[in-house]
Structure 1
Amino acid sequence: MGFLDPVTLLGREVRLEPLTSDHAGGLADAARLDQVWGLWYTSAPEADRMRADIDAKLARAATGEMLPFAVLRPDGVPVGVTTYLHPLPAVPAVEIGMTWLAASARRTAINTEAKKLLLGNAFEAWGCRRVAFRTTWLNLRSREAIERIGATFEGRIRNDRVMRDGTVTDSAQYSITDAEWPAVRQHLRHLLSR
Structure 2
Amino acid sequence: MNRPFRRSNMPMEKWFETVHLEGELVALIPLEEDHKEGLLKAASDGKLWELWFTSVPSETTIDTYIHTALAQKQKGLEYPFVVIEKSSGTIIGSTRFYNLQPEHKRLEIGYTWYAKKHQRTGVNTECKLLLLQFAFETLKCIAVQFMTDSHNERSRAAIARIGAKQDGILRHHRINTDGTYRDSVVFSITNHEWPEVKKSLELKRQKYSG
On whether the aligned pair clears a TM of 0.5, the verdict is: yes
What is the CA-CA distance between 1:145 and the residue it aligns to? 0.2
Amino acid at match of 1:134: M
* Structure 2 residues without counterparts, runs of 5 or longer: 1-12
CA distance in 1, matches of 2:76, 2:14: 12
How many residue pairs align between the two structures?
194
Residue in 1 that maps onto 2:61: 49
Residue in 2 that maps onto 1:58: 70
CA contact (8 A) 1:4 1:64 kept: no
What is the CA-CA distance between 1:2 and the residue it aligns to? 6.6
Q: Which ranges of 4 or more aligned residues in structure 1 deviate by more than 3 Å?
A: none
Residue in 2 that maps onto 1:6: 18
TM-score (norm 2): 0.89
Of residues 160, 165, 188 in structure 2, which corresponds to 1:147? 160
Residue 95 in 1 paired to residue 114 in 2?
no
Residue 73 in 1 paired to residue 73 in 2?
no
Of residues 34, 38, 48 in structure 1, which corresponds to 2:50? 38
CA contact (8 A) 1:29 1:47 kept: no
Residue 164 in 1 paired to residue 198 in 2?
no
Residues 63 and 2 of structure 1: CA distance in aligned 2, closer, same or farther (over 3 Å): closer
CA contact (8 A) 1:4 1:67 kept: no
Could you say what secondary structure the match of 1:99 adopts?
A: strand
Residues 62 and 145 of structure 1: CA distance in aligned 2, closer, same or farther (over 3 Å): same
Indicate the structure (1 or 2) with the bigger Cα radius of gyration: 2
What is the CA-CA distance between 1:5 and the residue it aligns to? 2.9
TM-score (norm 1): 0.96
Residue in 2 that maps onto 1:173: 186
What is the CA-CA distance between 1:165 and the residue it aligns to? 2.5
CA contact (8 A) 1:31 1:47 kept: no
Tell me how large the CA RMSD over aligned residues is. 1.3
* Structure 1 residues without counterparts, runs of 5 or longer: none
Residue in 2 that maps onto 1:120: 133
Residue in 1 that maps onto 2:203: 190
Could you say what secondary structure the match of 2:202 adopts?
A: helix
CA distance in 2, matches of 1:165, 1:76: 36
CA contact (8 A) 2:106 2:142 kept: yes
